[in-house]
Amino acid sequence: MAIDCFVLGAGQEIGKSCVVVTINGKRIMFDCGMHMGCDDHNRYPDFSLLSKSGDFDNVISCIIVTHFHMDHVGALPYFTEVCGYNGPIYMSYPTKALSPLMLEDYRRVMVDRRGEEELFTTTHITNCMKKVIAIDLKQTIQVDEDLQIRAYYAGHVLGAVMVYAKVGDAAIVYTGDYNMTTDRHLGAAKIDRLQLDLLISESTYATTIRGSKYPREREFLQAVHKCVAGGGKALIPSFALGRAQELCMLLDDYWERMNIKVPIYFSSGLTIQANMYYKMLISWTSQNVKEKHNTHNPFDFKNVKDFDRSLIHAPGPCVLFATPGMLCAGFSLEVFKHWAPSPLNLVALPGYSVAGTVGHKLMAGKPTTVDLYNGTKVDVRCKIHQVAFSPHTDAKGIMDLTKFLSPKNVVLVHGEKPSMMILKDKITSELDIPCFVPANGETVSVASTTFVKANASDMFLKSCSNPNLKFSNSTQLRVTDQRTSDGVLVIEKSKKAKIVYQDEVSELLHEKNHVVSLAYCCPVKAKGESDNDVDLIKQLSAKILKTVSGAQIHESEDCLQVGSFKGSLCLKEKCMHRPEISSCSEAVFLCCNWSVADLELGWEIINVMKLNLDNTCKVKGDLL
Amino acid sequence: MELTCLSKGDGFHYPPCHMLNLCGFRILIDCPLDLSAIKIFSPVPYDVGFEASEYPSSDVSLDAQDPVQKKQKLERQLTPADLVCAEPWYKTVKALHLWEASLIDVVLISNPMGLLGLPFLTQNPGFCAKIYMTEATAKIGQFMMEDLVSMHKEFRCFYGPGDSSYPGWIKDLDSEEVPALLKKVVFGESGDDLGSWMRLYSLDDIESCMKKVQVVKFAEEVCYNGTLIIKALSSGLDIGACNWLINGPNGSLSYLSNSILVSLHARNFDINGLKGTDVMVYSDFSCLQSAEVTENGCISPNTDNNYLSTISDNKDEDLAASLLNTEDSLEEMEKLAFVCSCAAESADAGGSTLITITRVGIVLQLLELMSDYIESSSLKVPIFVISSVAEELLAYTKTIPEWLCDQRQEELILGEPSFDHLKFNKDKKIHLFPAIHSPNLITSWQEPCIVFAPHCSLRLGPSVQLLQRWRGDPKSLLVLEDGISSGLALLPFRPVAMKVLQCSFLSGIRLQKLPTLLSVLQPKIVLVPDAVSQRIDLSGMKINSILSFSENETLHVPRIADNTSVEITTDLASKLSWRKLRQRENFGIARLKGGLLMEDGKHRLVTGLEQEESSGKARPLRYWGTVAQEPLLGALLKMGIKGSIEHSTSENGLENSIIHIANPSSGLIETSEMCTAIVAEDKNVASQILQGIDEVLDGI
């Protein structure tokens, strides 16, 4: 059995995350995102690679979307409404609540401002979201008889999850985007120690290692403070959800502490609405926020107001959160056009900007002019601040998670190729786990776990519940517990395998037990001596104890027993088991019998007795 | 597996309590408090300066009163003076005290009411069990316990710090004149309940109890000790209430607590998760409360048979659909609406309404309906919710889409409040106060009004004071929960002139639905309370066996699966040395290696440490079949051993063959149908003969 990991998007790049994994015949699509930097057909994953006929329902068992960012959910309405996928779609509660806002916001930006043809309509979004099944953290969902999925907390943004999927004995985890440290409002990713065949991890910051983020938070606050103190306007282009709330919490808190009265605006009612969702979904935030929310909901921002278009040219300082992020289009770009030429102003860019956007150009160098999409140029004299803390995990976080989960294989997606290659080498060499970095359209196949299943008999399980310690004393004392070796695995064609205790095998085969034993009637003493037999047995057992380590000897009047070895005084004139020629013909004999299990033990005891006899014979001979 | 029913409980507020013994682990399910017992105590007297008027009381009742209660009232009229004037103690599950707390391995709490007695158990220094409950149960249960403690504080203030070791009031109850009803509550039917009375825990006790709790989500799998996989599945009774599914190496067990199939507020009953278990414990005793049974005595077998025949004709999906029809929930809806209209009526007439219901779900729905009702009518009455935890509780209900029914979930996700009243809360139409003496209460107080105030026993909390205020007002209305035995509850407030509305809400599965439910879930063995098996005939069900259990008896349940499943890792399986059997080509047998582990509730055989030692010279230890002599001779000859056969009959009449070996050294092989003995003086010869036997005999 194998697991195939087919990367439709976000292979060696960031954007349009979409990984299709086939586990034992079940096919799961993780994320269904769009590329924000592309305008052509490349913005969507190439779904035609999944099915030539366009029948996706029979090809894909389910879709799981990890969080509401456009590069993870952007292509979903297109896939369900235009391509016609009708199967189950799973999202966490916050993702289900917030994705439509993100999609609608993006759609409006694309259509209203950039004047593009509609990729999907509002109806598409509504219909698509109706098909979504909301799931809770750690809730184990049985998608169908074989496929089981479970979501774990991933940090990153509100409602972001890592997904565990299991088919039969094979299991994988797809991390989506995650954050291994707590931030202002979200907790760190949290997952159980699972047995995994494959871990598919994001690797946005595959080589970065970050220290504490407090100095960088301070840097950001000081940059904004300096700007507004100088009478400038600060523009923070961000998507409606996620960063906006985190930064706003920071600013709101800072405003309170520093008693600043400069207004903070949100560019549309949308984000205010989003704040309401944040208030409702408080159970998905960090422990700290959860504990405080009874007294004061941290998403009740005291200094935040709605922004009006007329305020763009209003005098005086302000801080504005405007959508969309990355300055890729829409209102934030419009405001940027007006504010960029003034050296008093500030543009703070939070997070990652995809190549091709204005945000990316600003971050790449220090341009004095920037080309907008329609050919107009804008002079950039304002200050540019890059917010240096990110809701993505750093390289150490990826390594920590990989080490913690210790999967059999790792696939890296959602990153930049050069740094992914470095991380790949690190995982291979430091953790000794095979690691793959597939490009878009490539498939990685790894072996999957399977267990041989057998029914075990009660007798076997009972024997296994008692220790069966064996001591061996070859060079040094070794203690081994071989309780399972009393069990026998029986496989009959076209039947389920069975495990039975060794004594039960013959019954299972409808055969009769056949006992194979060894026997030897051993001379132990020359006849005619006055000692009685009890002393003889005692004497022998003392000798045996001396030579055979760990032997447990049971003795009675005329016999002794060690394990399956039984010896009893033989009074018969002629014993079948007595060798015909014996050195001391007139002797006392011990008739011995032992099973094949104690083959060696038996011979050892016989040896002891023979030596004993030789010695006494010798002594007697000397005396004579 | 063993099941002991420690208490069959009493309705919603006192859920049943069971002890399970599963795979050697002791599992306690629920740890409730019998809060109805505190009615033997007298409420804290308040001087409200309002003379009780002489109007005759008019009881309005939704359902017939408990006939038992009626009978007892006839025996001897209780007077308010009979009630105990002391700081109340609380009655716990008696039988639980017979169990050593340190021997309990797991505690499962299925709903907030099942949590109320837990601090008594966790106080025990030897207590070390793992406690599981859903997040919402923990949260709401904690609110209720804290509320209980804060309401109890009034008694502490009134009576002062008492002797904590022995309650003096018990002595006074042991005399002849004490009414039988009180004695029965205090000492129990058999007279040995005294030990179950406990002094109330403190806030610290609650905190330390809650620290030991591991919260779970619905359908989250938690693994106890590698052996039991425990899963909470929504039961629909209330927010966070659940049934339990426990998977272990010996099969699966489902525990059905009081459930509501279609809930109006909480997440619906999870049917799919409970299907096809080996054992199902049906612990829904709610039929003891429901009216239809007390009226009809027993469900008539005729209709029952018809029912069963329709069951067998229907398909699985139809059955499930018939279970989930909305009949019951509509009925519940009507009851709620009736309460609302009664409240509105009295408000119209200028009277106030006191609602003492404490079921969270019912309170939320009533609040919603009331505020909708008031909004749509011309009526202008304020709604007050007076409880020390009202504000936190209502704030909490805003943030829990995961625990609500689908429709409310949808509303939350669309950005609307899950309960309609939450928006009124904002408009200040609903006023929340932590206590009746809250500073702002008096400024916004206005009568007539509608007040939600605990506690349903009418002994604790703000309801006592309000009842004393309004009891003489025939225009006012008191809404009580059924099963509260209004006689005793209202005793200290008599004469009561205000109207009393006693309502019972669904708190379990209706008995008629049980056959359908069983045929959908199809467990192999069902355990039902004797109270249920006496009332309904389940013999027509296609279920292996139906066992009935009763209070304080241990029921032993036989194991279902003969064979336990073991999983073997593939790399271990590939390392086993396989033997082919003579004349049995279909078989392969191998002696096992490695170590047997218990992991995720499954036996697993994994690679152990001692591999290299035992691998090389594994030799058979067990043989079966018979030794064929000629081939054995041939095999021995190949190794250079010559022998000759001699037949003989031993003394017990069995056919015996003896093979004499002369070369290289003397020896003989004695063989019969059942056994073979090798006699040789020389060890090497003996080993060679054994090798020869291995070739002609199957063994492992």
Task: Please state the ipTM of this predicted complex.
Answer: 0.85
* Residue pairs between chains A and B whose CB atoms are closer than 8 Å: 226
Contacts B699 to A, Cβ<8 Å: 514, 516
Confidence of residue B58 (pLDDT cuts 50, 70, 90): very low
Average pLDDT, chain A: 85
Residue B392's closest chain A neighbor by CA?
A294
Residue predicted with more confidence, A112 or A357: A357
Q: How confident is the model at residue A112 (pLDDT cuts 50, 70, 90)?
A: low
B90-92 β-sheet, strand order: B33-34, B90-92, B197-198
pLDDT of residue A402: 96
Which residue bears the tokens 């995990």?
A393
Q: Do A483 and B596 touch (CB under 8 A)?
A: yes
Q: Which residues of B touch A513 (CB under 8 A)?
A: 622-624, 674
For the ranges A290-299, B151-160, B577-586, the maximum mean pLDDT occurs at B151-160
Distance CA B363, CA B357 (A): 7
**Residues of B with CB below 8 A from A169's CB?**
567
CA–CA distance, A536 with A610 (Å, rounded to integer):
14
The pair of structure tokens assigned to A563 is: 């394990």
Distance of CA A559 to the CA centre of its chain: 62
Least confident piece of the model among A470-479, B38-47, B68-77, B536-545: B68-77
pLDDT of A115 above 70 = no
| pLDDT attached to residue B610 | 55
Radius of gyration of chain A (CA): 39
Short-list B360, B153, B395, B160, CA closest to B263:
B360
Using CA atoms, how far apart are residues B6 and B21, in angstroms rounded to an integer?
13
CA atoms of B686 and B668, how far apart (whole Å): 9
Quick one: CA torsion of A592, A593, A599, A605, rounded to 10 degrees? -20
In which element (H, E) is residue B568 found?
strand B564-569
How distant, in Å, are the alpha carbons of A8, A18, A72, A76 from that of A33?
Answer: 10, 6, 4, 7
Pairing of strands A469-472, B90-92: unpaired
Take residue A139 and report the two structure tokens written for it: 């809730």
Do β-strands B545-549 and A62-64 pair in parallel, antiparallel, or remain unpaired?
unpaired
Q: Which of A380, A341, A345 is nearest to A232 (CA)?
A: A345
d(CA A93, CA A90): 9
Per-residue pLDDT at A124 exceeds 80: yes
Percentage of chain B lying above the pLDDT 90 cut: 27
Residue B177 in tokens: 């004149």
DSSP annotation of B375 reads H
pLDDT of A194 over the 70 cut: yes
Residue B414 buriedness (CB in 10 A; 0-12 / 13-18 / 19+): exposed
* Bridge partner list, B332: none
Quote the minimal CA–CA distance from A238 to chain B in Å: 22
Q: CA B146 to CA B215: how far, in whole Å?
A: 18
Q: With 70 as the cut, is the pLDDT of residue B671 above it?
A: yes
Q: CB neighbours of B654 closer than 8 A, spacing ≥ 6?
A: B672, B673, B674
Over residues B472-487, mean pLDDT: 80
Among the listed residues A13, A81, A202, A504, the single catalytic one is A202
**What average pLDDT is seen over chain B?**
82
pLDDT at A354 over 80: no
pLDDT of residue B476: 92
Tell me how close the Cα of B619 comes to any Cα of chain A, in angstroms: 9
Direct distance between the N- and C-terminal alpha carbons of chain B, in angstroms, rounded to an integer: 35
Q: What predicted TM-score, i.e. pTM, was given to this entire model?
A: 0.87
Q: Which of A248-262, B212-226, B321-335 has the lowest mean pLDDT?
A: B321-335
Give residue B315's pLDDT. Answer: 61
Task: Please report which confidence band the pLDDT of residue B609 belongs to, taking 50, 70 and 90 as the band edges.
Answer: low
Give CA–CA dist B577/B588, Å, rounded: 10
pLDDT at residue B108 greater than cutoff 90 = yes
Flag if A134 and B401 touch (Cβ within 8 Å): yes
Flag if A491 and B588 touch (Cβ within 8 Å). yes
Q: How far apart are CA A107 and CA A121, in angstroms?
A: 8
Phi/psi at A72 (5° precision): -120, -25
A607 vs A85 pLDDT, higher one: A85
pLDDT(B436) > 70:
yes
* Averaged pLDDT, B429-434: 86
> In DSSP terms, which residues pair with A398 in a beta bridge?
none
Q: Are strands B564-569 and B602-606 parallel, antiparallel or unpaired?
A: parallel
The burial class, CB within 10 Å (0-12 / 13-18 / 19+), for A372 is middle
Residue by residue, DSSP assigns A448-492 as ---EEEEEE-HHHHHHHHS--EEEE-SSS-EEEE-GGGGEEEEEE
By three-state DSSP, how is residue A161 classified?
A: strand
Helix (H) or strand (E) holding A72: helix A70-73
C-beta neighbour count of A313 within 10 angstroms: 8
- How far is residue A116 from each of residues A229, A359, B444, measured CA to CA in Å? 39, 20, 57
At B527, the amino acid letter reads L
Does residue B397 carry a pLDDT above 50?
A: yes
**CA–CA separation, A216 vs A147, rounded Å?**
43
Alpha helices in A484-598 (DSSP H): 505-508, 533-547
Q: Are B543 and B522 in contact (CB under 8 A)?
A: yes
Pairing of strands A369-371, B477-481: unpaired
Q: Strand pairing of B450-452 and B383-386?
A: parallel
Q: Is pLDDT of A33 > 50?
A: yes
Contact A593 B675 (CB under 8 A): no
**Strand partners of residue B231:** B221, B245
Kindly tell me the sign of the dihedral angle through the C-alpha atoms of A522, A528, A532, A538: negative
Cα gap A335→A312, rounded to integer Å = 7
> Per-residue pLDDT for B277 more than 70?
yes
* B454: three-class secondary structure by DSSP: coil
Is A543's pLDDT higher than 50? yes
| A134 to B231: CB separation less than 8 angstroms, yes or no | no
Tens digits of per-residue pLDDT, B596-607?
888 888 888 888
Please report how many Cα atoms fall inside a 13 Å half-sphere around the Cα of residue A614, on the Cβ side. Answer: 6
pLDDT band at A131 (very low <50, low <70, confident <90, very high): very high
CB contact under 8 A, A518 and B677: yes
Name the token pair of A189: 């990713």
At B131, the pLDDT band (50, 70, 90 cuts) reads: very high
* Contact call for A455 and B564, based on CB within 8 A: yes
- State how far the Cα of A306 lies from the Cα of A322, in Å rounded to an integer: 11
Nearest Cα to Cα of residue B652 among B672, B669, B668, B629? B672
Query: Per-residue pLDDT for B55 more than 50?
Result: no
When pLDDT is averaged across residues A348-359 and rounded to a whole number, the result is 79
Helix (H) or strand (E) holding B161: none
Backbone angles phi, psi at A129, to 5 degrees: -70, -25
- CA dist., res. B334 & res. B330, Å (int): 6
Q: What is the full DSSP assignment across A427-438?
A: IIIII---EE-P
The tokens 């697993």 sit on which residue? B604
Residue with tokens 């090809």: A59
B568 closest CB neighbour out of A141, A452, A458: A452
- pLDDT for B289 equals 65
- B217 vs A138, A457, A484: nearest CB: A138
Of the two residues B227 and B662, the one the predictor is more confident about is B227
pLDDT score at A56: 93
Residue B652 reports pLDDT greater than 50: yes
Tell me whether residues A516 and B588 touch, CB distance under 8 A: no
Contacts of A490 in chain B (CB under 8 A): 587-589
What pLDDT is recorded for position A439? 95
Measured between alpha carbons, how far is A544 from A603 in angstroms, rounded to an integer? 12
What span, in angstroms and rounded, lies between the C-alpha atoms of A160 and A173?
Answer: 14
CA distance A403 to chain B (A): 21
In the residue annotation, A202 being an active-site residue is answered as yes
Q: How far is A146 from chain B (nearest CA, A)?
A: 14
Q: How many angstroms separate the CA of residue A208 from the nearest CA in chain B? A: 35
